[in-house]
């Protein structure tokens, strides 16, 4: 399924042009980074399992969703140290993720940690980083609906009214007769706090009328998102 939020649907790897030896791929731990509000720093480990040295740059950008799309904005909220790592073959290095100043309390804040090699033939990586408010965690409250873009094109509109992100995987449509159409295996994407997205849907003769969508929420078992019906809309 082609989506309007390609960054959110990519957990780690961004495609790179050119061909490079497989041994120059990095190992990153963890692949999803999370800090609590008030925490001064976290860490990311880079591992170079190959024989050749790796050098690159670490950038941390603010991740927002506006008009149904992902956007990355320059930010000084979180900085990487070192920002220009160099790993000899067979070594690991810790990257500290430092908050120079306390951030305002409130909704969860989202960032992308970009690991960009000096050698442009090598893969780049984009890891999500969340700074999460204190308090009990729970499933984000989602509003869902189908919007018609044109006579033949629809999208799944999702709005997250909660203070925390919603992570959706294994997205599927269940029609009125109980038939299941898998729309996205694995990670479908994120809906950030207070944000809306609209993910493109494949065409169906019934225009998704009378059915419902389901997905695994935040790593949990498959569950119902919402029962929705097609309504006339110009989309986002």
Rounded average pLDDT per 10-residue block, the chain, 236 residues:
38 39 78 91 96 96 92 96 97 97 89 96 96 74 85 88 91 92 93 94 89 84 56 34
CATH-assigned architecture of domain 13-19+26-132:
Sandwich (2.60)
Give pLDDT, residue 14: 36
Short-list 21, 18, 82, 91, CA closest to 53:
91
pTM above 0.85, yes or no: no
C-alpha dist (Å) from residue 40 to 4, 167, 185, 229: 34, 25, 36, 46
Give pLDDT, residue 21: 52
In sequence order, what are the beta bridge partners of 146? 156, 230
Other beta carbons within 10 Å of 128: 22
Q: Which fold has domain 142-231?
A: Immunoglobulin-like (2.60.40)
CATH 2.60.40.10 domain residues, the chain: 13-19+26-132
């Amino acid at each position: 399924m082609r989506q309007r939020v390609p960054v959110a649907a990519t957990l780690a790897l961004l495609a790179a042009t050119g061909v490079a030896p497989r041994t120059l791929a990095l190992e990153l731990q963890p692949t999803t980074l999370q800090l609590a509000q008030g925490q001064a720093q976290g860490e990311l480990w880079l591992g170079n399992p190959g024989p050749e040295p790796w050098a690159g740059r670490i950038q941390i950008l603010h991740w927002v969703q506006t008009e149904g799309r992902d956007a990355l904005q320059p930010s000084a909220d979180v900085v990487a140290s070192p920002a220009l790592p160099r790993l000899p073959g067979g070594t690991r290095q810790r990257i500290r993720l430092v908050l120079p100043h306390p951030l305002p309390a409130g909704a969860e804040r989202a960032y992308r940690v970009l690991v960009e090699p000096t050698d442009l033939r090598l893969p780049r990586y984009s890891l999500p980083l969340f700074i999460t408010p204190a308090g009990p965690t729970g499933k984000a409250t989602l509003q869902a609906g189908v919007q018609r873009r044109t006579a033949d094109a629809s999208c799944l509109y999702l709005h997250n009214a909660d203070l925390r992100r919603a992570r959706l995987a294994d997205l599927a449509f269940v029609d009125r007769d109980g038939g299941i159409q898998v729309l996205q295996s694995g990670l479908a994407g994120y809906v950030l706090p207070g944000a809306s997205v609209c993910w493109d849907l494949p065409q169906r003769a019934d225009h998704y009328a009378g059915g419902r969508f389901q997905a695994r929420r935040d790593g949990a078992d498959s569950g119902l998102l919402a029962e929705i019906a097609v309504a006339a809309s110009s989309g986002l």
